Structure 1
């Protein structure tokens, strides 16, 4: 029987949610600019399904600029407690406004206000400037809901390759590779 990599990811992710002390949904996101210069940072996975893996950010940030210039990315989950990694590569698209609105509404109020106050990835002269901007947003939205800023939303990485890496003794690791093949997946193994 053919393995569905999303089902396998769902199983591994559920185990990580139980064993990882902090941020089991933390994932390294690799992007590259138009010239191919790579950049890497941690983001939080906020959802996944057959359409892809979703994270949210300021769409005026460095990562957003790189994704606009080169709409492909790689993700890496590393769950040390399980001695496992999952690598995902594929094209990136924007999550819908409805999805972005729904997720934004689920965030804490201070996180919502921070999305308005921050010019993410841009130079900041001093911390007090950001604190003042945050306080200004508190006053602006006092007593009312904080709507999603127009420059903030989700991105979806549609997997073309998914690799499941399991640590084994003596560095004899197991590596299972799934690659898109039409509407399905082709599965193989890689040398450790």
Structure 2
């Protein structure tokens, strides 16, 4: 193309396409064979590149989470200069925060070093992990169904315990109270009859 702006736009889109392919390889373990032709105009290439991004996002939950995180907190994806302090706190407050967390710095550095030394998994291993996603989804749905069954069993158990307490315990207590009341009435009647008998004997 003779237009310098169009050439710059196409080169920029080519760089974006390269970055998209790297992301696709890092997430999926492979790269789609289809590429955007260089003889197309910038508008069409950009539209096809955006379509490829949407397809990749629809296939990967990781990219969906990243896009959702970027839409909610875009500041996390913006780099700041080392000389700039990304906070409104005073230097004394920052010093207290740093000193309070100083003991965790060596362990954090050791963990980061171990992460750097860890080997990068192969593409086949990443692809096998991606293939496990449907099985993991089935296990997750099964676990959700089991949790629902357990919740139902807990509710039924609570209802049975409440019925047992209401029917057996409370009613048994009422029966014993009624029986005790009847026994007391009988005792009072017996004492009254004995008193009358003694009065009759004394009157004779």
TM-score, normalisation: structure 2: 0.18
Q: Which has the higher strand share?
A: 1
Q: Which has the higher helix share?
A: 2
TM-score, normalisation: structure 1: 0.18
